[in-house]
Structure 1
Amino acid sequence: MKITQSLVKKDGEYFAPISKKDLKLQIIVENADKSALQYQWYCNGKKVDGDSDTLSIKVSKKGTMTYTCDIYNKATKETKKAAGSWKITGYNAKVSITFKKTKKIKDIFGKELKLSKITVPKKAKKALAVDAKKETIKVKKYCKNVKVTLVTKDGKSIEIAVSTVYPRPKVTKNKGAVKTYVDGRYCIVSFKASNVKGATKVLYEYSKKKDKGFKKSKFKSFYVKEGNVRYFRAIAVYGKQKSPYSKVIKIKG
């Protein structure tokens, strides 16, 4: 029997972006009566369902999974162990890196890749600092969906899209913020935000509900009616860009 396989040569590694779509592995047998062949697939040594020359898999997390396929020939009573073998490494194709922070390639792929180089488009060289030896990418300026190519020492090219994210603000209630009730019905509460270095401004929002109905405010001090519950959150503005929202804080009047 002559045996070949899809995607990569036997024992080869294939880099697949995490996706809900199926990825097909196929083992191709020539010079044999295909009606006499039976297949048994394995993932990391454990049997998986499938008795054909094709296996559909989903790449749902980063890291490497090893798939193999045994072939049994009913006519000759022979079994070819691990006739096909794939290393499938999942990774996030879209990578978010916090402003002025460094991300290791290991954190994207779940392992080191042994890179020969990392290439960045000319327009984005001021925004990203890359180091193939250390296998790191650092964000120096804001960027969005920059196509970065990672080249392994064995010649494989892997493309990722890098975007900047700003740090999530941390909001705390000022000490003694809940003060004496005004007119016996309202209290005053104020907040302060941290982890917002370099932000143009910090905006606060409030709502009666924890997860919806938030309204913007120009202030960082608020009245809360006695017996009522209000929810607060903040967002930091960096020029035309914004950070993720802070965690929601619950205040009961």
Structure 2
Amino acid sequence: MTPDSIRSAAASLLTAYQTGKPIDPLSDTYPHATVSDAYRMQLEQVRAWTQRGEVVVGHKVGLVSAAIRRQMRVAEPDYGHLTSRMIHPEHEPIPSAAFLQPRVEPELAFVLKAPLRGPHVTVADAARAVEFVLPALEIVDSRIADWRITIVDTIADNASSGGFVLGSTPVRLDDADLRLAGCVLTVNGAVAETGAGAAVLGSPLNALAWLANTLAPMGIALEPGHIVLSGSMTRTVPIAAGDCVVAATNGFGSVTAVLSE
């Protein structure tokens, strides 16, 4: 795709944020767009956000489990950027009007104490860079109508990001088993999904290493203090205004998100 086409596609996504109206799939409008093109669209939006004062606070890994890839009809993981606009305090009402088609995912979030720069980052390297882990809820969203996404659509749309909530129980890596961490996701008190850390590429640490190595060709390193959402342990669950969502993960505590009426 030409630079003008990349900018035009990014502009259409930015307009969807402003108007609250989803757009047709970019994979229909630009049928020859590649994954590389999609990440360039993503970066155009990140530049627009930072120019208006937002700060990149980390990254998210998406599409990590086989179940969620089947659900979204895509075949590979992806990543997006997390900015200061996306952070929501636990238990405080999150404005539902900020989202178009929200869904929720239970995750584990890494907070880094050291930089991670690929290529060739191993799981051991990833573990050494982690200061602590927090339970997290990611509110995913799509600016693409009816979630009719391909891998190009979701990558271009910042990996279908929306917002996230972090729990308040930091856990050191050697105090819990990431793979065996069982998770129960409830919406308004009813169990919606169950899962475990092993659903995240075998271990959330694998997702962290994958991210560092995938960012390397773009010259991007993970920085100390950054947050990395490692990916959903379950399928995504649609949510609506007024919903109260809780993710309880064995060994890591719980985290609650409330969508305002």
Q: TM-score range by the shorter chain?
A: under 0.3
Q: Which has the higher helix share?
A: 2
TM-score (norm 2): 0.21
RCO comparison, higher one (Cα < 8 Å, 6+):
2
Q: Which has the higher strand share?
A: 1
TM-score (norm 1): 0.21
